[in-house]
Structure 1
Amino acid sequence: MAAAPGRAHHLAGELGARDPQAVERITLALVDLPLSLVRRHLRDGGRYGGGLPAHAEELAEDCAAALLETAR
């Protein structure tokens, strides 16, 4: 489950992110990216196979890791 935006902002501070860009990057990685991936597949209404593909979790993890790495 994706983190709530307020919690992501708090976590960003705990991770040492002080500037708005770093906080936004962490929120994007923890909230927006996973949500958009799930939403896109749910909205297709099953037209293109329906449901999340088996590799969706790995894709979200890889993208989040890349975003978080650049936030340091």
Structure 2
Amino acid sequence: MLSSKCKFSNEEILAALEHLQAITEQKIIQAVASPPKQWQITIEERVVLVEYLMTRQHRILSNDNLSNQD
């Protein structure tokens, strides 16, 4: 379970999940669209990054272990 591996309380995990759930696809797109130019991230890399972040968000929020905490 996440809480036993990370030593977070159920309340801390639930609060983090609420914040994660509040992050919209639009917010992710805005964040990925505005990195410093020095990072030299291409548009293709930005698209892949948005897809990755959205997938990770959905996986974390749908993880059965998160809803079955002690």
TM-score calculated relative to the size of structure 1:
0.42
- Which structure has the higher relative contact order (CA within 8 Å, separation 6+)? 2
Relative to the length of structure 2, the TM-score reads 0.43
- Larger proportion of helix: 2
